[in-house]
């Protein structure tokens, strides 16, 4: 029984090499120009401004205003040398509700006022898309990781790390739009605690050689 089955498989597979060659010829002659394009290359210097939010803490919310400077070595690696943010903090209704109903003030880690980090940018994915019918825009996805320091509302320093992901869309030769999601893990002393701060921001960048 095995011999007929093997023979049948060989017969069925025989036409495929010829068909594969035909497809390769079609791609080479007709579609090569459209299938491969040059990857957008970020210029060396990038100046960024951003607006964000710190949404996770149940006792306060922060609205962040930031700016930063990054240097891009090539289309794969970049260094966000300085990335600074100031947070305008507003207490939530939870604090007043606990005080009104139970007469207690919750113990908490002081809110973050300043955030400063320096991070490596690893550009893991790049591509292009058509906007509308005629305009083509480039984009990329990068991983973010690096040390961070925060100043709390009590003027206490807190050190840690930040990790995240950034999404970029190239608007033209000089400007790009950016969306970032970052998680800060900050260590607070006396007593030792870990402050988990999530930051979501959108921004615009000026890119120069």
The 10s digit of each residue's pLDDT in 52-72 is 999 988 788 899 999 999 999
Q: Angle at CA 171, nearest 5°, toward 66 and 68?
A: 20
> How confident is the model over 98-124, as pLDDT tens digits?
666 766 666 678 889 999 999 999 999
Tell me the C-alpha distance between 94 and 97, whole Å.
5
Secondary structure in 3-state letters for 25-45 = HHHHHHHHHHHCCCCCCCCCE
Answer for the pair 206, 127: CB distance below 8 angstroms, yes or no.
no
Q: What is the mean pLDDT of the chain?
A: 80
Q: Which fold has domain 45-208?
A: Porin (2.40.160)
pLDDT at 27 over 60: no
In angstroms, the CA 116 to CA 1 distance is 72
Lowest mean pLDDT among 7-11, 51-55, 126-130: 7-11
CB 181 within 8 A of CB 189: no
In terms of average pLDDT, the best of 2-6, 19-23, 150-154 is: 150-154
Contact (Cβ atoms closer than 8 angstroms) between residue 36 and residue 70: no
> For the chain, which residues make up each domain, given as ranges?
2-35, 45-208
Tell me what pLDDT residue 10 has.
Answer: 47
Q: Would you tell me how many other CB atoms lie within 10 Å of the CB of residue 25?
A: 10
Three-class DSSP category at 21: helix
């Amino acid at each position: 029984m095995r011999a007929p089955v093997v023979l049948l498989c060989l017969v069925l597979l025989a036409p495929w090499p010829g068909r594969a060659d035909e497809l390769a010829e079609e791609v080479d002659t007709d579609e090569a120009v459209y299938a491969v394009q040059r990857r957008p290359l970020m210029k060396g210097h990038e100046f960024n401004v951003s607006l964000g939010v710190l949404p996770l803490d149940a006792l306060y919310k922060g609205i962040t205003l930031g700016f930063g400077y990054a240097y891009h070595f090539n289309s794969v690696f970049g260094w966000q040398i300085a990335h600074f943010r100031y947070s305008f903090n507003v207490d939530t209704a939870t604090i007043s509700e606990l005080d009104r109903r139970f007469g207690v003030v919750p113990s908490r880690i002081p809110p973050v006022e300043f955030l400063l980090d320096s991070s490596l940018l690893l550009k893991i994915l790049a591509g292009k898309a058509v906007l509308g019918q005629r305009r083509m825009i480039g984009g990329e996805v990068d991983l973010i990781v690096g040390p961070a320091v925060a100043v709390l509302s009590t003027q206490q320093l807190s050190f840690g790390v930040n990790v995240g992901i950034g999404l970029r869309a190239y608007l033209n030769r000089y400007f790009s739009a950016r969306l970032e999601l970052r998680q800060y893990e900050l260590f607070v002393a006396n007593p030792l605690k870990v402050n988990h701060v999530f930051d979501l921001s959108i921004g615009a960048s000026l890119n120069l050689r």
